[in-house]
Structure 1
Amino acid sequence: MIRRRLCIVLVAVLALVLSACGGGGSSSGTTEIAVWHGYQDTEGEVFTSLIEQYNAEHPEVKINDLYSSNDLVLQKVLTAVRGGSAPDVAYMFGSWSPNIAQIPQVVDMADEVSQEDWNWDDFYPAERQAATVGDKIVGVPALVDNLAIVYNKTLFAEAGIAPPTPEWTWDDFRSAAAKLTDPSTGQYGWLIPADGSEDTVWHYLPMLWEAGGDILSPDNKSAVFNSEAGVEALTVLQQMAVTDKSLYLDTTNENGPKLMNSGKVAMLITGPWDLSQLSDIDYGVQVMPTFAGSSGGHQTIAGPDNWVIFDNGDEKKQAAIDFVKWLSAPEQVKTFSLGTGDLPIRASVGKDQEVLTTLNDNVPGTATFVENLSNVEKVRPTVEQYPEISDALGQAIVAVMLGKDEPAAALNTAAEAADAALAGK
């Protein structure tokens, strides 16, 4: 099941968020800052240790952290803002940026991060893009990831197929998947989420970009995914699912690691979050294939998330900014990445050989995902209507993979729905 950060929520109550928030320090003279996050287990432990370090080094501030499910935090934040009790900092999905930008109490970080000591350009481009809505910067990167091929080395060897290489095209990928499929044993070459959710769309978008296409027009006013490039990308999925029958359609979106561990699936296109679950097989990681003849290259997709700061008065706002600045500085990024196995959010840390070696020693293949961040060239459009666009596109992709529609027709239908959403119809 795809990581929690892929959830997309359409919020219709943003217009209600108009009330001002209270602020100020505590009566003890210590400024208390409330930080909402969804970290649990190892991530939670490492994050708690960083907060303890910050509190010890900054006695004038006390950071109080509160666990809040990432999937529910936007609605919770909206409720809190209306009641005048917003947190000072909240971990929020990057896909929510257009919604977040409408909340008056959200601090626009554009002037802040333009200061030299933030080294804003050290954050990966996709992270910066996902935090930007128009001329606003609504958050500071908290997490980044991407998709790559994860493959079962043993199954490849048994089938006499050379492992994936950076030179692989989608034709190579399709050919290998067909050879790795055995109906008599229920073995498939590749598994893809097929529930029509954003996870389904997430797997299609890199293919669309690699083929030379895009989701929306440059002005974000109309869908363009029903282009020749869009059809070419979706046709590959149709060929593998309908013609070759080498593609396992995971309609529950829960079976990827389980089926790969059992040897029933030879390849996943997934992120670093699944690697620790593949304890029963010898796996490798490789970048996405390319489309022969296309200039799109080995593109992938990232799901950056943000630390969002709320204005609860000048004193608390500044303390919150200072904490997020410290938390996202290279030293703390390195500590968090090495402690959790998460990809570093700064390019300078991602180039640190000690970090790459340690991450890869702890969870083999992680270094490839770090290096693959250089292949993240585009992000999902930061428009409020994206959830509706995603839903229409997800349904089109599934219809084609199930053999119920043709790529061009399905994408045209989805584009009409997307255009209607963008036009407010």
Structure 2
Amino acid sequence: MFTKKSMKRTLSLALGLSLFLAACGNGDSASSEEDVTLTYSIWDAIQEPGMQAIADAFEEENPGIKVNVEVTPWEQYWTKLESSAQGGSMPDVFWMHSNEIANYSEGNVLMDLSETFESSENVKLDQFPEDLVELYSADGELLGVPKDYDTIGLWYNKSLFDEAGIEYPDEDWTWDDLLVAAQELTDEEAGVYGVLAPLNRQEGYHNFIYQNDGYVISEDKTESGFRKDETVDAVQWYADLSVKHGVSPTQNQFADNSNLTFFQSGRGAMAFFGSWMTAEMANNEYTAENVDVAPLPQGEKQATIFNGLANSVAENTKYPQEAQKFVEFLSSEKAMKLQGENGSAIPALEGIDTTFNEAYPEFNTQIFTDQMESGVIKPYTNQTTRWENIENEQLIPVFAGEKSAKEVAEDIADQVEDILADE
């Protein structure tokens, strides 16, 4: 039987073989007398200006090395990267995501950057969040260097709060405070909802699971948290914002209009969005004028999911020395400052993250960096996407009000644990 696991192994072997064949004869960089052009592949057009500023600074310090910043939308990015890996023509340097690192950690697809950073005089790995360094490492190899980190905030419409005479959310807010405010802010006749709570993990119910002393995946990555009452109760509380209390649109309504559409049209008083959405809020005329961001309301404790991207290098790059030099520069204080000052993302380098806050004086983005004190790394295993899909599918009837979280919890746990055991 050709299982998903065997398919993954076959892909890894295919990638490894194609890269080995493509790498033959490419072991040396081009002569330093020749101009070298590196491709830096990313997926976020909003971050392109910041990445281009970094590339320009690198080129200025390194005459003879050019960097082409190539933007491919998320929907096509991974298909294109997989295809280029199989064809032995990957970009030299590119963004890596926590959901995908396991697919590229086998088969000699990614360059081991351990020695590059062990010998670096400018950048040390202990200057980055330890969980992110671990996330992008495998079998003692460093396969990606943290580029940024993100946390989740409670975005709110100041105008709607002012009209209702309600004080803005702050660090003392609890789940009850959120619900009470949402009930007061909901205006069915005007089509305005107090809070936007779609079926969403990272920006939604996963945060509240950890706030309720539950978990999604156990630390040893063998058990599902859906066997715990704390996990199930948190999911139900979040789903009830829509199905019980009616302070959030239904999932059918979200199918027609995203939570961002609701929020940017003034039809949602509160919403949960990650720090990566800050530029989107700033670039929209309505939200730039009317909204701000506060810490997440807390349950039994405060907690927020955090995640982060990494910069990786193709094992078969024609220019290994130049590519390593560029990824080291990407991780440097100078490049991280450019990333923050351009408002691209929160720099992962210790002490530089505040530059992101300074890029958006109109918003209280300080809460994103402050919340790292209670940050929980986005749940991941070698098969993250598989068990996330199971979780999502099983929770659809819960968010439709057809079943309770308790009724589907055992099925989620059984199926997720089968995947974990298969790893």
TM-score for both structures, normalised by structure 1: 0.85
> What is the number of residues matched between the two proteins?
402
Q: What's the offset of the Cα at 1:234? A: 1.1
Q: Which string of whole-angstrom CA distances, capped at 9 and with x for unpartnered residues, describes residues 206-260 of structure 1?
A: 1111111222223212312331111121121233222211122353385323322
Q: Which amino acid aligns with 1:13?
A: L
Alignment of 1:259-274 (within 5 A): 259-272=262-275, 273=277, 274=280
Alignment partners' CA distance in 2, 1:220 and 1:170: 29
Q: What's the offset of the Cα at 1:175? A: 1.8
Check 1:227–1:373 CA distance in 2 against 1; reply closer, same or farther (3 A cut): same
User: Hey, what does 1:418 align to over in structure 2?
Assistant: 416
Alignment of 1:329-408 (within 5 A): 329-351=332-354, 355=355, 358-361=358-361, 363-381=362-380, 383-408=381-406
Q: Which string of whole-angstrom CA distances, capped at 9 and with x for unpartnered residues, describes residues 333-382 of structure 1?
A: 1112212342222231124xxx3663232x4233332333333232222x
Q: Is the 8 A contact 1:77 1:86 kept in 2?
A: yes
Q: What SS class does the counterpart of residue 156 from structure 2 fall into?
A: strand
From 163, 170, 178, the counterpart of 2:168: 163
Alignment partners' CA distance in 2, 1:34 and 1:259: 41
From 273, 276, 291, the counterpart of 2:282: 276
Q: Which string of whole-angstrom CA distances, capped at 9 and with x for unpartnered residues, describes residues 371-415 of structure 1?
A: 33333232222x232112111212233321211111112222111
Q: Which amino acid aligns with 2:325?
A: D
Q: What's the offset of the Cα at 1:423? A: 3.0
From 88, 96, 121, the counterpart of 1:84: 88
User: Unaligned regions of 5+ residues in structure 2, if any?
Assistant: 1-6
Percent identity over paired residues: 20
Q: What SS class does the counterpart of residue 371 from structure 1 fall into?
A: helix
Check 1:260–1:202 CA distance in 2 against 1; reply closer, same or farther (3 A cut): closer
Alignment partners' CA distance in 2, 1:183 and 1:55: 55
Q: Is the 8 A contact 1:211 1:233 kept in 2?
A: yes
User: Unaligned regions of 5+ residues in structure 1, if any?
Assistant: 1-9
Alignment partners' CA distance in 2, 1:54 and 1:379: 31
Alignment partners' CA distance in 2, 1:175 and 1:374: 27
Q: Which amino acid aligns with 2:296?
A: M
Alignment partners' CA distance in 1, 2:44 and 2:77: 15
Q: What's the offset of the Cα at 1:275? A: 2.0
Q: What's the offset of the Cα at 1:15? A: 3.5
Question: Is the aligned partner of 1:323 residue 2:326?
Answer: yes
Q: Is the 8 A contact 2:35 2:64 kept in 1?
A: yes
Question: Is the aligned partner of 1:54 residue 2:68?
Answer: no
From 294, 297, 307, the counterpart of 1:286: 294
Q: Which string of whole-angstrom CA distances, capped at 9 and with x for unpartnered residues, describes residues 70-120 of structure 1?
A: 443333333323333233211122221111211313122344434574222
Question: Is the aligned partner of 1:140 residue 2:138?
Answer: no
Alignment partners' CA distance in 2, 1:415 and 1:380: 15
Question: Is the aligned partner of 1:239 residue 2:240?
Answer: yes
Aligned residues: CA RMSD: 2.7
Q: What SS class does the counterpart of residue 101 from structure 2 fall into?
A: helix
TM-score for both structures, normalised by structure 2: 0.85
Q: Is the 8 A contact 1:359 1:366 kept in 2?
A: no
